[in-house]
Amino acid sequence: MARTLKHLSPQIPPGPACVVRRARLDEMTERVDVARLLADYAEESLAGQRLEGDLAMRSVDLVAQWADAFVLLATIGEQKVGLAVCLPSISTFAAAGVINVHDLWVEAKFRKRGVAAELLRCVQREARERGCAKVTLEVRDDNLDARRLYRRSGFRGEPGAGERPGTFFLELAL
């Protein structure tokens, strides 16, 4: 599943290539890394609030136990810089599986390098290999950079169709 980005954004000087791979959630050190990324993501999304106690680790444990769920990690050099937490579902209308990208996040200093786009490409590849009908996700309406990325990646959806007001529910047919 590892892919290397050869074309980083020209706005940021090239550095080590980005590699995306499945997280090894059976290894404690990998779980800790995923929990750290989730906690950082939550802190950014929740205006500076950290997840309390061991909530991030309990979330990682739950994903590890969830049948067919997976986490993709983006690494630059030795540093883990982003993740995609993916949960399986089904489409009764298509009689096929669905992968929901529950969380997609890249550390701020590594954005605009194609890391999130590569994470999405790897999610799409995994979904196709599983025979899924589509990939879904939600995004806040004020997250313009993410919305642009998802549109460029082929996702479509309507404003206000998300679970909460102010969110978009997007899908990419495979």
User: How confident is the prediction along the chain (174 residues), in pLDDT tens digits per residue?
Assistant: 554 444 444 444 455 689 999 999 999 999 999 999 999 998 888 766 777 779 999 999 999 999 999 999 999 999 999 999 999 999 999 999 999 999 999 999 999 999 999 999 999 999 999 999 999 999 988 889 999 999 999 999 866 555 555 778 899 999
How many angstroms separate the CA atoms of 2 and 9, rounded?
20
Give the pLDDT confidence of 14-46 residue by residue, as tens digits: 556 899 999 999 999 999 999 999 999 988 887
| Class of the CATH domain delimited by 18-173 | alpha beta
DSSP labels, 100-121: EEEEEEE-GGGTTSSHHHHHHH
Structure tokens at 34: 């995923």
Q: Where are the alpha helices (DSSP H) in the chain?
A: 28-45, 55-65, 115-129, 144-152
Length of the chain: 174
DSSP state of 49: P
In angstroms, the Cα distances linking 114 to 11, 64, 94, 118, 168 are: 11, 27, 31, 6, 22
